[in-house]
Structure 1
Amino acid sequence: MTTERASVLVEVRKYDGRLSGRWTAARLGEDEHGVWLGTPQGAPTTSDSGDWAARFAHVVLVPRDAWWMASFCAAPGPEVYCDVCTVPRWSEHGTVLRLVDLDLDVVRPHGGDVHVEDEDEFAEHRVRHGYPDSVVTHARQTCAWLTGAVRRDDGAEPFTSAYRPWLALIA
């Protein structure tokens, strides 16, 4: 676990280009799972549907070349919240992270069981925005894999405990 503290602009868009969320996070460091970003409670977020402040501190794991990004939140937020998305892309100098949210979310509340959110939104947007078959296939395969990996009793990292030292840096 190597630590840093550079700022990263995170920009999440929907498939039609709408801004789903934009905020500044601290680049905490990286490990074998990917790059870890930290966002304190109250951090401002901007989107096309309005602005808000982060309700709780969280760290984001940006894995290498994967169709997902995971947030690990301080209570009372969800323990694990995985966005199924296009492969996140870094700007040349690593100061901007961009990805397209594909609607499906795999969530594990603190003390609860894993579940998938927004399957109806995925089905609707697939038609409305014309998701290519390859995007649909990657999204569904990723969602199925995450659903198994995020289960509390599976012990799969980074979803079991690898996030805890990173979250402790900002919570």
Structure 2
Amino acid sequence: MTGDTRVVYTKFDGSLHWHHVIQRLGEDRHGVWLGAPPGVRMQKGTAGREHVTEHPHVMLFRPGVWWTAAFNGPPHETEIYCDITSPVRWLHPGQVTMVDLDLDVSRERAGGRVVLWDEDEFDEHRLRWAYPSEVVDAARASAAWLMTALADGTEPFASDYRAWLELVS
């Protein structure tokens, strides 16, 4: 099924975080792929800031894992950006949602450096919203796994995403 899909990230307290609408491209062994050419309007919160994408990108929503991934087309400096999240939930074919758990893992396009982001935010929110220990453990384990996978060429982070990215480039 193709068509518009609303992507909704919330925070652990239920507040609206990043949200936007992009095109459903298809599904493969990795999960559901969504994507868009430049010009997608992404909003943060209910009356928060807006960001308009400057480069094509695709997103992967894989069932049962504690992350989502965005793959950016050149010349974006960040090749891959993964949010540590609760497992995705499809409310219906046109909307996917998940809880953003603050930690992020990225890979730079030039040089391939892999970086873990927002540990301070994770610690702050973990205490403020009393993340259960199983959520903390899953988030940390996912971040550690992604640090390795983005560095060592584990798919879909090596090349599988490129065919999907070509559809919106």
Q: SS of the residue aligned with 1:158?
A: coil
Alignment of 1:22-61 (within 5 A): 22-48=19-45, 49-61=48-60
Secondary structure at the counterpart of residue 160 of structure 2: coil
**How many residues are matched?**
165
SS in structure 2 opposite 1:116? strand
Q: What is the CA-CA distance between 1:155 and the residue it aligns to?
A: 2.1
Q: Which segment is superposed worse, 78-87 or 44-53?
A: 44-53
Deviation track 1:131-167 (CA, whole Å, cap 9, x = no partner) reads 111100000001001110010xx22100000000000
One-letter amino acid matched to 2:57 = H
Aligned to 2:11: 14
| 3-state SS of 2:58 partner | strand
- Where do 1:94-113 residues align within 5 Å? 94-111=93-110, 112-113=112-113
Q: Structure 2: 5+ residue runs without aligned partners? A: none
**Counterpart Cα distance in 1 of 2:79 and 2:44:** 23
Counterpart-to-counterpart distance in 2, 1:134 and 1:81? 24
Q: Hey, what's the Cα distance between the residues in 2 that align with 1:52 and 1:116?
A: 22
**Whole-Å Cα distance in 1 between the matches of residues 166 and 80 of structure 2?**
15
Partners of 2:7 and 2:143 in 1: CA distance: 22
CA shift, 1:73, in A, is: 0.2
Moved over 2 A (4+): none
Q: Give the structure 1 partner of residue 129 of structure 2.
A: 129
Amino acid at match of 1:106: V
Quote the offset at 1:101 in angstroms: 0.4
> What is aligned with 2:158?
160
Structure 1: 5+ residue runs without aligned partners? none
Which position in structure 1 is the counterpart of 2:90? 90
> Following the alignment from structure 2 to structure 1, what is the Cα–Cα distance between the partners of residues 36 and 143?
24
Structure 1 residue 109, shift from structure 2 partner: 1.0
Distance 1:113 1:44 in 2: 28
| TM-score normalised according to structure 2 size | 0.93
- CA distance in 1 between counterparts of 2:54 and 2:135 reads 31
Q: Percent identity?
A: 44
- AA aligned to 1:164 is R
